[in-house]
Amino acid sequence: MRIVPETRRLLLVNGPNLNLLGTREPEVYGTATLADIEQLVAEVADGLGYEVRAMQSNHEGELIDAIHAVREDCAGIVINPGGLTHTSVALRDALTGVSLPFAEVHISDVYARESFRHFSYLEDVAAVRVVGKGINGYAEAVRELVVLIGDSVR
């Protein structure tokens, strides 16, 4: 049985190469930085009565360790797994293993890109999925996830 944290908290996870946002392929990802995304998510979550822990790593094991570490003190996870979306069974197992609802977010429309990006190891287990809405997709994911969690402050 999962312990519901007294302090409502979400984990924001950004995977490989998302530290380059703002300069990496701006025609695909826009000019917003990772710091901009973290601020947006924190503001939206705060308005719903949640705080946010944010982390980014280019290393799969660090992402998995961060997910494991919050299993008893976060109510949900918002994750943009980057390229690991299409390759990582281990990341999927970590997310399903902690039994927290999670939202999968992609800034670009992965279905309008290369065919290998059309497959997601997380798609069928994500509680929320937001694709191709730019950084505003993160805000949408937070709002939808909090509704699913069911204890937002309004």
Enumerate the active-site residues. Answer: 29, 106
Per DSSP bridges, beta strands 102-106 and 76-80 are parallel
- Please tell me whether 108 is known to bind a ligand: yes
Is 58 labeled as ligand-binding? Answer: no
**77 labelled ligand-binding:** no
Closest Cα partner for 142 from 29, 52, 60, 25? 52
46 is in an annotated binding site: no
The Cα–Cα gap between 111 and 77 comes to: 23
Flag whether 152 is marked binding: no
Residue 14 known to bind ligand: no
Report how far Cα 94 is from the mean position of its chain's Cα atoms. 13
Name the binding residues: 80, 86, 93, 107-108, 117
Name the binding residues for substrate: 80, 86, 93, 107-108, 117
